Amino acid sequence: MNRRTRIRATVAGGVAVTALGALVAGVGVAQAGEKEHGGDRGDRKGGVTEREIAGLFDRWNAALLTGDAEKVADLYAEDAVLLPTASPRIRTDHAGIVDYFEHFLQKKPRGEKVRSVIRVLDRNSALDAGVYRFHLTDPKTGVTKAVDARYTYEYEKRDGTWLIVNHHSSVLPAEG
């Protein structure tokens, strides 16, 4: 094989690898899109689907929309840990979680997921992590602004009910 033939073979191989990479990336994006839009692709562990776990965020967001801090806090286990977006204090009991949401709910938060990665660990535990966007209204001015944050929910099924056992949320840092 002369030099010119080796160069052509190398370029052709590179094009093939690039095309294969694009195909694989496209499949990965399609699968991620399914998860982001509630598809569960039939993934089940112990009868639990990703769609079921995704619905727990909708339940939590609906509780926020009631404006009732107790209703929101009732979705957390008694021993839950909350690392909230808008407070430096870690909340580790029901009273602390209620206190946080009493203040947070004054901003009339409305959440939506931007990107979600769900992992069903077994029939009684799952993780949901990603980015969500909150629309918050300043109670003094009435001006609403969007805030993007990273989140992680750890869920456990206790006595037949899914509860949040760990919730971390932090403002999404600027691209750097």
pLDDT at 43: 57
The per-residue pLDDT for 33 is 42
Q: Which CATH architecture has domain 45-171?
A: Roll (3.10)
Phi-psi region of 154 (alpha: psi -120 to 50; beta: other; left: phi over 0): beta
Q: Which long-range contacts (CB under 8 A, 24 or more apart) does 29-38 make?
A: 32/115, 32/117, 35/116, 35/117, 35/118, 36/113, 36/115, 36/116
Query: pLDDT (tens digit, 0 to 9) for every residue of the chain, 176 residues total?
Result: 554 444 444 444 443 333 334 333 333 333 344 444 444 444 567 789 999 999 999 999 999 999 999 999 999 999 999 999 999 999 999 999 999 999 999 999 999 999 999 999 999 999 999 999 999 999 999 999 999 999 999 999 999 999 999 999 999 988 87
Cα–Cα distance for residue pair 62/59, rounded to 1 Å: 5
78 near 95, Cβ under 8 Å?
Answer: no
CB neighbourhood size of 49 (10 A)? 19
Say how far apart CA 117 and CA 127 lie, in whole Å. Answer: 8
Question: What is the per-residue pLDDT for 44?
Answer: 64
Number of other residues whose CB lies within 10 A of the CB of residue 6:
10
In the chain, what are the domain boundaries? 1-37, 45-171
- Is 63 strand, coil or helix? helix
pTM: 0.74
What pLDDT, on a 0 to 100 scale, did the predictor assign at position 1? 54
- Contact criterion met (CB below 8 Å) for 34 and 51: no
The DSSP 8-state label assigned to residue 87 in this structure reads -
